[in-house]
Structure formats: structure tokens, C-alpha cells
Amino acid sequence: MSTNATNKAMVRPVCRNCGSSEIVRDASARWDVTAQDWSLTGVYDCTFCDNCNGEGDSLAEWIEAESTSPANVHRDHA
Ligand SMILES: [Zn+2]
């Protein structure tokens, strides 16, 4: 399975351990005086799961975002 630019399917990360989509990542933010808001300066590689408390660089498994509905069920309009 590849996620090339030719494939425009949207993806989302799910936890490799428990399948949850409660995936979070550490990032660093710096105060932007002009914007009067925090601005992201970097996102770290390590991924965490809020559901099972797992962590690791390869914890996230990327799946198609459309797979919230069953992919192999072909639904013609009823
Ligand atoms: Zn998990």
C-alpha cells in the first residue's frame, strides 16, 4: 500500500496497538508577538495514544480517512 501524491485519498492515523484514532503528537510552540498567539515551530516524531497510553515513532498506522464507512460495501443509491 502506498500513499503517493498520485493517490489523493485522505488518510488519518490510528493506533497500531488498539486501533483508536486518539492519536496525539508532541510539538513545540513559540509565542508569536505579531499574531498574539502560539505558533508551531516543530512537530516531534514520537506519537502517543490517548486511549492505550502507547507511544513510539511508529505507533501511528495510516489508513484511508474514508474508511469510517465500510470500504468493501458498495452502496448504490437506495
Ligand atoms: Zn492505542
pLDDT in tens, the chain (78 residues): 555 556 578 999 999 999 999 999 999 999 999 999 999 999 999 999 999 999 999 999 999 997 555 555 555 655
Tell me the pairing of strands 23-32 and 60-64.
Answer: unpaired
pTM above 0.75, yes or no: no
Distance 32 CA to ligand 1 centre (A): 33
Distance 4 CA to ligand 1 centre (A): 26
| Whole-angstrom distance, CA of residue 17 vs CA of residue 54 | 7
Distance 21 CA to ligand 1 centre (A): 8
